[in-house]
Every structure is written in structure tokens, then in C-alpha cells.
Amino acid sequence: MKIGIISSLWRRVPPKKYGGTEYVVSLITSELVKRNHEVYLFASGDSETPAHLIPIIDRNLYDLLGEYQWNNINYDLYQMKIVSKYADDIEIFHNHNGFVPLYFKEALKKPIITTLHSSLPFSQELALYVKDEPYVSISNAQRKLGPNLNFVATIYHGIPVELFPFQKEKKDYIVFLGTISPYKGTDRAIKIALKSGIKLIIAGELRKEFKTFFDNKVKPYIDGKNIEFVGELSFHEKIDILKEAKALLLPVRWEEAFGLVMIESMACGTPVIAFHKGAVPEIIKDKETGFIVKNTNEAVKALQKVESINPMTCRLWVEENFNVKKMVDEYEKLYKAILKQN
């Protein structure tokens, strides 16, 4: 098949650090190329891919603008101007950049499926006139955020499990890994750690919009001993911290659409203690690969039992359910079904 992958422009593909959407785009694109499909990737010019890279801008938007501007669709419109020039060479488009590309379907004259990556409530205005297009959810829980959309499949993210070293022996610390924000519950992770008396390592991106939260709810507790903040990590730095941790904490306040870090942690043999929100019950096998809790007190109790979780059970759960091959098998099947309909 000749497949056009429309990526978000906010990070390079793959991202150097933060960027879950672009990481998944990279995995899908590379696997499709391995399977001898002709793939065109429409992404920022600093991306690296075995596919045909069609650069939309020289560098990713985060580097250019310094922060996310979610309502800025100017670059998305420009991206689609470029995409439309290649439409004759492509059989099907796989969109990872929200709703804007769907408004160009008539101009493209080719089928387009959209994987929605966001945990935030979808833009009702942008979605209104394209609600009947085929969408892929990344969890069943995500569908509740867009109940009027035409979801044709749920396809879980997969990771290259072989790149995540399994480690049975753990050190005496727990880790929070994600954007420093109230939505991700960084402050809750600190409370859990202090109540448990276990060292917490906080790793993640600190955005300007959450600086006040960081200054008031996180920074006062950072002492380098009990609570350590190490900032945003590279892929290998992240793995080094995850594989030796006693547990990963995910005390989220929002409806998490997926949460890649959960499967990355379990792939290393590190159990996850997460709040019962969004896709968490679909990803964690409660009491087998981690614990699903309702509040900080339950999380503290779960930490006392975390050594009862077998690290190999965590690893096998990811190998069987959240691998790249399985993910791309399902996308391939969907591409063929959509092309047959058209």
C-alpha cells in the first residue's frame, strides 16, 4: 500500500525527549516500511525516518515557538497544503494531527483515518462537521470524550519491548514520570512518597503554563534526598530510572487516554500504581501488574504490597498485549477494510 502519515508538528519524529504522539507515529511508520509499504511521512524537517520524509517546516514547532499553542492551526493548514500535492501518489492517509486535516478530505480525494491521541475534551467546534469520518481510539475510555464521533476501532499503542531491558532486582525508590502538572498529579506523588517514607524521583517536562503549580506544590518539597527532581529525560535516561524503580506512580486527575509510560514501566518489570481514571483499568492488570487505587491512602497501602507483584508478569503482559507488531497488524487490517469500502 501507498500510505501517507500525517504527523503532529509539535515534536520531531521520533522525539528526543517528550512527545508520545510523535513516538507512536515513528513506531507505526518504521514498522510499515519494514513490511514493504510505500510510506510518506508529513512531519517537521528535523525528523528521522526510513519512510519518504516530506518536511513541512525546518524544525518542530516546540523548538520554533518555545511552548505549545493548541489553538494555533496556521501550521496545520500549511501542512495540508503540502499534503494535497502528494495525494495522487497515496492510496490512504493516516492522520495523527487532530481534526484540521479532515477538512481537506474532498481535496485529497482519498480515504483518511484519524487516530486521536488527546486526553483533553475534543474541540467541539472543529469536530462538529467531521464527526462522521472514521476515527481510531487508543482506549475504550477515550471514546467517552467524543461520544458523537464515528469510532471504527480501538487500537492500543504498542512499544518495541526488546528495547526495554527487564530487571528483576529493584532499588528503594519510586518514580513519577510525566509532565509536571496538576492533571498528572505530581503533587499527589509527593504526598504518597512522604507518607510511605520512600524516596521519589520526579522526571518530566516543566511547561511555562504549569510553573506556578511547580513553584507552589512541587518545588518546596524537593530536597535532593527524599524528593528529587531530574527534569526531562532522554529515552535511555528514562529507561535507566524506570527499570530499577520499586514502582511507577500515576496519580492522575484527568481521564488518561492511554499513558505510554505505564507499558514502558511494566516492560522493564516495574509495577504501576495508578489512580482509577481513563484507560488505567485497560492497561494495568490490577494486583498482577500493579495496583489501581482511588486515593493517596490506597496508594500508600499499595506500595506496602508492591513487592508481591512478579516483575516477569509485568513484562509478559506488555509483550503479549502492547507490542508494535500487534498494533501495526491492527492498523494494516483497518487500512485494507477502509480501502475496500472506498
Domain assignments of the chain as residue spans, ordered by start = 2-158+323-341, 161-321
Place of cell 496508594: 299
Q: What is the pLDDT of residue 39?
A: 99
Same fold across 2-158+323-341 and 161-321 = yes
pLDDT for res 125: 67
What pLDDT, on a 0 to 100 scale, did the predictor assign at position 199?
98
pLDDT at 111: 97
pLDDT at 146: 84
* DSSP 8-state assignment for residue 323: B
Residue 240, number of CB atoms within 10 A of its CB: 15
- Whose CA is closest to 7, among 103, 104, 115? 115
Task: Report the run of H or E that residue 33 belongs to, with start and end.
Answer: helix 20-34
The pLDDT of residue 82 is: 97
Would you state the CATH architecture of domain 161-321?
3-Layer(aba) Sandwich (3.40)
Q: Which CATH class is domain 2-158+323-341?
A: alpha beta
Q: Are 18 and 26 in contact (CB under 8 A)?
A: no
| Exposed / middle / buried, residue 138 (Cβ in 10 Å: 0-12, 13-18, 19+) | buried
C-alpha cell at 105: 478530505
Alpha-carbon distance 49 to 317, whole Å? Answer: 29
pLDDT tens, position by position, for the chain (342 residues)? 999 999 999 999 999 887 789 999 999 999 999 999 999 999 999 999 999 999 999 999 988 887 777 677 899 999 999 999 999 999 999 999 999 999 999 999 999 999 999 866 656 666 778 999 999 999 999 999 888 899 999 999 999 999 999 999 999 999 999 999 999 999 999 999 999 999 999 999 999 899 999 999 999 999 999 999 999 999 999 999 999 999 999 999 989 899 999 999 999 999 999 999 999 999 999 999 999 999 999 999 999 999 999 999 999 999 999 999 999 999 999 999 999 998
Q: How far is CA 173 from CA 121, 176, 275, in A?
A: 34, 10, 19
> Could you tell me if residue 224 is left (phi over 0), alpha (psi between -120 and 50 degrees) or otherwise beta?
left
